[in-house]
Amino acid sequence: MSEAAPALEVAHVSHSFGARVALSDVSITVGRGRFVALLGPNGAGKTTLFSLITRLYNNRHGRVAIFGHPLDREPSRALARLGVVFQARTLDTDLTVAQNLLYHAALHGIPRAAAKARIAVLLDRVGLADRCADKVRTLSGGQSRRIEIARALVHHPSLLLLDEPTVGLDLESRADIVAIIRALVREEGLSVLWATHIFEEIAADDDAVVLHRGRIVARGRAGGIGEADETLADAFRRLVAEPVRAAA
């Protein structure tokens, strides 16, 4: 593994479901310590891409590597560096916060004492240290999302994938989630691929990729994706209304 390898390299990845093409020649790079926004309307292929990166789907066309570890040849090493927050809620609502996190730690082979110490740190980080013994069903949507972020970080990953993590949350909860992730990028050097269609979550100096109908149609710094006097939202609406052309 090269120390210069990016956190995530997706190179010329394509995927189909029967005759339906979900992704076509998609290439994305997430640099170390960078926040990369993946923009796309519903059906663009964002979730399919995440499923390939996490090996929920088997990738047959193209290459995926995490910190230089090819996913096809070194899956254990690659996935050990990865944490994921999927769009669908996946906490067990009948268990407590601590039980959910301890179970996840056990899946990663973390000894119980070390797991408890790590969980205490993470719950403090996401502002929910006082809810450790509460059942997940008693949490709000935003609080549950923060617990899912803590769970994704239990095994000390260096790359975090988040698929529409703020969908369905109120404005304050959305802002809390974004602030937590950006603090992790800034303070701990975490690398992030953040899939969203909410433009307010993206900063002008973030790297951004626009995915439409399975193809990359634009990429670059978020503040420079649009044409003159275009906001990112305006550029996005124009790009997804035009015939699909792959970005350079």
Q: What is the 3-state secondary structure (H, E, C) of 194-243?
A: EEECCHHHCCCCCEEEEEECCEEEEEEEHHHCCCCCCCHHHHHHHHHHCC
pLDDT at position 180 is 96
% of residues, the chain, pLDDT over 90: 81
Structural domain containing residue 189: 1-81+157-248
Q: 2-6, 31-35, 162-166, 188-192 — which is least confidently predicted?
A: 2-6
Mean pLDDT of 116-135: 96
Give the mean pLDDT of 191-205.
Answer: 93
Q: Does the structure show a pLDDT above 90 at 182? A: yes
Distance CA 54, CA 75 (A): 9
**Helical pair 141-153 and 112-125, crossing angle rounded to 10 deg:** 130
Residue 32: name the closest of 225, 191, 154 by CA. Answer: 191
Total residues found in the chain within this entry: 248
Q: How confident is the model at residue 43 (pLDDT cuts 50, 70, 90)?
A: confident
Together in a domain, 174 and 190: yes
Rg of the chain, C-alpha, whole Å? 18
pLDDT of 1 higher than 50: no
Q: Is the pLDDT of residue 128 over 80?
A: yes
Instruction: State the average pLDDT over residues 155-166.
Output: 96
Which pair of tokens denotes residue 146? 């923060």
Burial-class residue 23 by CB neighbours within 10 Å (0-12, 13-18, 19+). Answer: buried
Last residue of a domain, one of 123, 156, 189: 156
Considering the domain architecture, whether residues 142 and 170 belong to the same structural domain is answered as no
Between CA 14 and CA 20, with CA 17 as vertex, the angle to 5 degrees is 85
121 phi/psi in degrees, rounded to 5: -65, -45
**Range scoring the smallest mean pLDDT among 22-31, 113-122, 229-238:** 229-238
Phi-psi region of 30 (alpha: psi -120 to 50; beta: other; left: phi over 0): beta
| Mean pLDDT on 51-68 | 92
Q: Say if residue 141 is in the same domain as residue 60.
A: no
**What is the C-alpha to C-alpha distance for residues 154 and 168, in angstroms, rounded to an integer?**
25
- Write the single-letter amino acid at 66: I
Q: Tell me, what's the pLDDT at 244? A: 62
* Whether residue 170 sits in one domain with residue 54: yes
Are residue 176 and residue 163 in the same domain, yes or no? Answer: yes
Q: How many domains does the chain have?
A: 2
- pLDDT tens track for 214-228: 999 999 999 999 887
Q: With 60 as the cut, is the pLDDT of residue 162 above it?
A: yes
pLDDT at 119: 97
Mean pLDDT estimate for the chain:
93
Q: Kindly state whether residues 75 and 10 are assigned to the same domain.
A: yes
Same domain, 134 and 242: no
Residue pointed to by tokens 């407590």: 96
| pLDDT of 36 | 98
DSSP string, 26-55: EEEEE-TT-EEEEE--TTSSHHHHHHHHTT
Res 146 pLDDT > 60: yes
23 — alpha (psi -120 to 50), left (phi > 0) or beta?
Answer: beta
Same domain, 18 and 42: yes
Place of tokens 């997804």: 240
Res. 147: pLDDT tops 90:
yes
pTM of the model: 0.93
On the question of pLDDT at 96 being above 70, the answer is yes
Residue type, 35: F
Q: Mark whether 94 and 196 lie in a shared domain.
A: no
